[in-house]
């Protein structure tokens, strides 16, 4: 791949088209097929939330 074909899409604006499996940065229509069936990827792939949630399970149980 050449540098002019590479794309950078921040996770906060990345959307997956559920019709053609393309990733774009439009939350209104898929840039590849114009579908409106899009899913924001930040909520699924954001590791910060996952790390925070996994820390809840690291709290040791209190002995009775």
pLDDT in tens for each of the 64 residues of the chain?
A: 566 777 888 989 999 999 999 999 988 999 999 999 999 999 888 776 555 555 555 555 555 5
State the pLDDT at residue 28: 92
pTM of the complete model: 0.62
CA distance 17 to 32: 9
- pLDDT of 6: 79
pLDDT value of residue 44: 85
Whole-number pLDDT of residue 35 = 94
Taking Cα atoms as reference points, which of 35, 34, 40, 32 lies closest to residue 11? 40
What three-state secondary structure class fits 54? helix
């Amino acid at each position: 791949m050449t540098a002019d074909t590479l794309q950078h899409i921040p996770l906060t604006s990345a959307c997956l088209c559920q019709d053609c499996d393309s990733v774009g940065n439009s939350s209104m229509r898929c840039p590849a097929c114009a579908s409106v069936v899009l899913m924001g990827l930040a909520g699924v792939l954001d590791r910060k939330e996952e790390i925070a949630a996994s820390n809840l399970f690291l709290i040791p149980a209190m002995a009775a």
